[in-house]
Amino acid sequence: MLSLCVLFVLFSASASFRPDVTIDSHELFDRCLDGENHKRKPGPEDALHGHCSPWVNRSCCTEDTAQLIHHGVLYNFDWDHCKNVKNMSDECRKHFNWDHCFFECSPNVGPWLVKIPDMKTRNESYFEVPLCANECDSWFEACKNDYTCTDNWLKNFEWKKVGRNKKRTNVCPAESTCKTFKEIYQTADNFCERVWDHSWKYTSNDQPCMKMWFDGPENPNDDVARWKIQVMYDDDTTSPNNSQVQLLGQYCKTNF
């Protein structure tokens, strides 16, 4: 059944199928980011501590990683880097936790993965994954009155050993000033796209797009990954066609 589906993906793109394409579409679908905390392949977990629970049935993160996200200590990233003005609000933090669960646990980013050369914690990054506009809007809404000192959280922080435990943590760059998200980013799309250096792409809700959080039993992002894989095999597909996505989704649901 599995091979049937892969064949379907290939043949549906047969008009422009080029023999030099060597990526196996199933590989792309069943893929985890190459990073120090990610599993090699997606698979089931027991509970993910309730915290990254949407992903329990097919996850790239382990229980331990979910636990570390829950306690806000993964990578020793300081969300309260503007604590001299105000710590991050709980509501904003909730959205960043969802985003973080997505980063560690999502099995759907395969088609957007790119190699990155010089990061200690991972060899890959995802680039311009379509994030549904309403997801981004509510994230920005929750954070707009919180404070930060730089727009690009992946590139612009300095990492220094601070505090008693002497672990390296992110601190505001010299010469920077803590301002509200609203002042730094102005708009939701600007925020979602810049905060993690274009990992996300703000995408209209009527296009195939990812949800950062969902209630089971289906992962709605599976179909978005299938759509993208199909597009990658078909250069002629210039605009996404939702009925095609659904068709492919239905066809592959039991097979992938």
Ligand X SMILES: *[C@@H]1O[C@H](CO)[C@@H](O)[C@H](O)[C@H]1NC(C)=O
Which of residues 15 and 186 has its CB atom nearest to ligand X in the complex? 15
Of the ranges 96-104, 117-125, 141-149, 177-185, which one interacts with ligand X (CB under 6 A)? 117-125
Which of residues 34 and 91 has its CB atom nearest to ligand X in the complex? 34
For ligand X, the binding residue among 80, 91, 137, 222 (CB under 6 A) is: 80
For ligand X, the binding residue among 84, 121, 186, 204 (CB under 6 A) is: 121
**Nearest residue to ligand X, by Cβ distance, number only:** 216
Concatenated DSSP letters for 90-157? HHHHHHHHHHHHHHHH-S--GGGEEE-SS-SSBSEEE--EEEEHHHHHHHHHHHTTSEES-S-TTTS-
Report which secondary-structure segment, H or E, holds 180.
Answer: strand 179-180
For ligand X, the binding residue among 20, 46, 217, 236 (CB under 6 A) is: 217
Kindly list the distances between the CA atom of residue 144 and the CA atoms of 38, 135, 141, 219, in Å, as whole numbers in the listed order: 31, 14, 5, 28
Determine if 241 is a binding residue for ligand X (CB under 6 A): yes
The position carrying tokens 């919180």 is 146
Which of residues 122 and 201 has its CB atom nearest to ligand X in the complex? 122
Q: Give the pair of three-digit tokens for residue 99.
A: 């985003």
- Interface with ligand X in residues 47-76 (CB under 6 A): 53-54, 56-57
Which of residues 20 and 118 has its CB atom nearest to ligand X in the complex? 118
* Cα maximum dimension of the chain: 62
Which of residues 125 and 150 has its CB atom nearest to ligand X in the complex? 125
Q: How many residues bind ligand X (CB under 6 A)?
A: 18
Determine if 83 is a binding residue for ligand X (CB under 6 A): yes
Q: Does residue 217 have a cis bond before it (omega within 30 degrees)?
A: yes
Kindly list the distances between the CA atom of residue 167 and the CA atoms of 39, 77, 159, in Å, as whole numbers in the listed order: 25, 10, 9
Which letter, b or e, does each residue of 87-123 get, where b requires 16 or more Cβ atoms within 10 Å of its Cβ?
A: ebeeebbebbbbbbbbbbbbbbbbbbbeeeeeeeeee
Of the ranges 104-112, 126-134, 150-158, 240-248, which one interacts with ligand X (CB under 6 A)? 240-248
Determine if 123 is a binding residue for ligand X (CB under 6 A): yes
Determine if 87 is a binding residue for ligand X (CB under 6 A): yes
Query: Which residues of the chain form contacts with ligand X (CB under 6 A)?
Result: 34-36, 53-54, 56-57, 80, 83, 87, 121-123, 216-217, 241, 243-244
